[in-house]
Amino acid sequence: MTMLTRKFAGALLVLSLAAATQAQEADEAGTAPEQPVVAADNATIEEVVVIGRYKAAATDIVSERMDASVPVDMLDAEAIGRVGDGDVAAALRRVPGLTLAQGKFVYVRGLGERYSSTQLNSAAVPSPDLTRNVLPLDIFPADIVDALTVSKGYSPELPAAFGGGNVNIRTKRVPEDIVLGLKIKSGWNTNHSDDAFTYSGGDDDKFGDDDGTRELPDALQTAISTYRGSFSPGNILEVLRQDGGFHTIEEAEAVNRQLATELNRNIDVRDKDLPADIGLEATGGYRWFLGENWEVGFLALGAYDDNWRNRERVNRRINLPDSDFSETQRTVRSTSLTGSLSLGVRFTEDHEIGTNSMFIRNTEDEASVSRTCGQGQFNDCADPTSPAQGRINELRFEQRELEVNQISGSHTLGDATLDILGDSFSWLAPLRDLEYTWYWSDSQADTDIPNEVRMESLDSLDPATGAILNTRIRSTLTAGRYTFAELEDEVESNGFSATYPIYGNGWDLELAAGYDYVRKTRFFEQITFGLGSTDAGFNTVSSGTPSEVFSDANILDSSTGLQVALNIGQFGEESYAAAQINDASWAKFDLLLNETWRIAAGVRYEDFVQVSVPLDILTFGQPRVAATPQEIADGVIADDEYYPSLAVTYIQPGFWSDEFQLRFAWSETVARPDIREVTESIFIDPLTEARVQGRSTLQSSDVTNYDVRAEWLWDSGDSFSVSLFLKDIDNPIETVQGGASEDNILFSFVNGESGEIYGAEIEWLKGLGSLSSALEGFYLAGNATFSDSDLELDRAVPGAASITNDSRRLTQHSEWVANLQIGWDSPDAKHAATLVYNAFGERIFFAGVDGNDDAFEQPFHSLDFVYSWYPTENLTVKVKAQNLLDDELEIEQDGSAGRVTVIEQNVGSTFSIDLKWQL
């Protein structure tokens, strides 16, 4: 981002908003991964045999879940490791009612990512995703996780942006004992082949970092300012004549051609044999005891992963699927680097301060070749006597980074503290067990996409064999399109809370109150260059690869007519600046009566403001805001509301189980439009390759939540729960198809009149040894969600006039979600195996228009197998097989041509092996 843009956008947002932060109390530190149990007495050995590794961990999780005042679901490090998921997004698929979209966004109870919030150690963090300000969860490796908490019932200490739920990622903290471990892993995917693609990148690509090979050249950055945002020969001539001398249009054209040579044209796509996946990880931690009262410690983790994947995708136009389609073969190299350091100090059992610093880099380097018919404003396949097909070569290097620094503290006026203070502070005794917690978090997400290239050409085919006879670069001014994009997203948050317990005869009361403050700023800048020619002389040099056609000699030769054009974006003003502030305070009480009834109620107040404005960064001499004052005002979201909640729990041990709870929960929350969705800017969705345009008139959605959950827990570790839920939504935000052009479709957003989602969840964990001695060590675990939803749309709402179905299900809602695990733990605790199944029902991907039906993402059935061997107390060997059914992503839509698979993409099956040593 240029300095001028930074200063302008920063000044604009400072005038529009104040600064702030929000999050909740940091969770307590977790413990190191559990080691194989080696017991000296038979009783302990028997417990290990009966409960097993997974069931022992699951018992702890269920106990913590039942201690919560509202319905929650949890996964800990042991459970995640058991099923072999590599990142947080994949792990959350195992939670009841959760599904995964685009491999990184979690949908809770069939509601899209906009209806949920995500926190890291109870603090807000920014998003490196270009298309949303929702945090993509695939960037977090599973190895840093101590536990994942999904709150499905609302409580006032949580952000009010809570529709489906809140996901809190609790990272590992300072261990209680020494931790030292090394892990190496490798694997491959069934789509590995010798027909993969690559290109000439930089020397640091293996670390997921561009070394400058792809960056915007200094000469072009200077020229943008010199020629005031336009590289047209006419404009260049005007600038040249400002020196008072005599200049010709030929001279200006020569300047343009010279600027064109600054673009990186070493972009030929070539074949590559894919290597095996590789991963490395090292962890180390220790806690020192200094005297009787002081403890200090640390935990450090470093990880590296590098893998290549082939992906084949087909896109079809709904009304002409046989003649208007594209077939794309992509090769994606994914590289991730993770480093984290946690420090902690504890004074007695009453006071603890901890820090968490984290750096995550997640880079995807993609080379693809698309063969098109009828797309891109061409009609390549219409004439069978002159067979031809379009070809689009694309390169995309997306480098996402997240830096987080957090510090939190917990202080209790406990017995140890009162003893140290002595009689001089005896007046504090009535405040015994008063707890005060605080936190501060500063984080920044950066996404850099340098030199994204799209090159359009035309293949001439042999009518008899279909072999490619000749490839020519298309004769257009944008045959080569170079895009440079950069995103900066910063979040600073802080807060505190106080909790005070009061103990009576037959009742316990806990009073709590707190404050959260979040300040978020987000800048996005994009510049696009076009390279090409429409002159007849270009046809003499247009055959060959891009590097051959766009050589220095050809560009500088005036007879070819080659020139570079400068645009602010592919479709208009795509750059923008945005900011949020959220100033929140809350209070609640938690009352326990006779160990039978528990009543928790409270309220949260949020003063929320969000502004987002499109920018024309190529404008000089006038304001760069690409919107009228009224359009800016329309896009401002200002909420000043109270969000209440109530939870009632009935506790009755011995009712069909050793522990039983029946919960009722009610709350009012909100779902707000995404920053990107309230600007009129147009951006590209990376999954569908469709254009997506925001709408400044979007309103927030008010959500009323109702939950009932019954939970049974047995001392053996078995558990069972059933839940009912209902959510009423006012002004739900929906994705609709907003039209189409010859080269792509357009999505937009509208507010519906009303919506609701309702359903039931069941979850269970059962040891099978009680059924037969032959099943000793086996267990069956799973969950299922069955739900339905209703949406009412008003066609009079802007953007909704052409919608086909004004009464339907909510977008992204699945009527059913299922997870099933069959596991086995050997009697000697040296072997463990798990078969894991996950699937979801079809869900609306986007709403259809102009008589076309809604597009449905089809069910995806995932079957994974994980085997773990513990040959020694310190060594673990893990073998994983994922997507054994080799299912594919498919999106279907009904139109005039019948039911059409408008998008299909293969995933492949992955096989891997991990070797881990831990002290």
Mean pLDDT is lowest, of 2-6, 347-351, 891-895, for 2-6
pLDDT band at 331, cuts 50/70/90?
A: very high
Q: How far apart are CA 731 and CA 754, in angstroms?
A: 6
Q: Which residues contact 671 (CB under 8 A, 6 or more apart)?
A: 114, 115, 161, 163, 700, 701, 703, 729, 732, 733
What pLDDT sits at residue 745?
59
Name the one residue in this structure whose structure tokens are 């040959």: 871
pLDDT exceeds cutoff 50 at 34: no
Over residues 214-238, the pLDDT tens digits come to 999 999 999 998 998 888 899 999 9
Work out the average pLDDT over 467-489: 89
What pLDDT sits at residue 37?
33
pLDDT exceeds cutoff 70 at 170: yes
Residue, of 380 and 720, whose pLDDT is higher = 720
Q: Which residues contact 56 (CB under 8 A, 6 or more apart)?
A: 34, 48, 78, 717
pLDDT exceeds cutoff 50 at 541: yes
Which of these, 825, 822, 831, lies nearest to 781 by C-alpha position?
822
Do 23 and 158 touch, CB atoms closer than 8 A?
no
> How far is C-alpha 349 from the geometric centre of its chain's CA atoms?
37
Work out the average pLDDT over 882-908: 87
Which of these, 787, 803, 785, lies nearest to 795 by C-alpha position?
803
pLDDT band at 51, cuts 50/70/90?
A: very low
Buried b / exposed e over 499-534, threshold 16 CB at 10 Å, is bbeeeeeeeeebbbbbbbbbbbbbbbbbbbbbbbbe
Mean pLDDT is lowest, of 165-174, 293-302, 735-744, for 735-744
Q: What is the mean pLDDT of the chain?
A: 83
Which of these, 573, 768, 778, lies nearest to 680 by C-alpha position?
573
Over residues 254-294, the pLDDT tens digits come to 999 999 999 999 999 998 889 999 999 999 999 999 988 99
> How far is C-alpha 133 from the geometric centre of its chain's CA atoms?
9
Over residues 129-169, the pLDDT tens digits come to 766 656 777 778 777 888 888 888 899 999 999 877 888 88
DSSP result, 82-132: HHT--BHHHHHTTSTTEEEETTTEEEETTB-GGGEEEEETTB------SS-
Work out the average pLDDT over 742-757: 75
pLDDT band at 641, cuts 50/70/90?
A: very high
pLDDT exceeds cutoff 50 at 250: yes
Which of these, 76, 43, 52, 47, lies nearest to 778 by C-alpha position?
52
Work out the average pLDDT over 294-316: 92
Most confident range, picked from 73-87, 187-201, 509-523: 509-523
- Map 875-903 to HEC letters: EEEEEEEECCCCCEEEEEEEECCEEEEEE
pLDDT band at 59, cuts 50/70/90?
A: low
Work out the average pLDDT over 385-408: 87
pLDDT exceeds cutoff 70 at 741: no
Mean pLDDT is lowest, of 381-395, 495-509, 715-729, 858-872, for 381-395
What pLDDT sits at residue 382?
46
Tokens matching residue 21: 């932060």
Percent of the chain with pLDDT over 90: 46
pLDDT exceeds cutoff 50 at 797: yes
Q: How far apart are CA 870 and CA 825, in angstroms?
A: 11
Residues in the chain: 919
Do 666 and 705 touch, CB atoms closer than 8 A?
yes
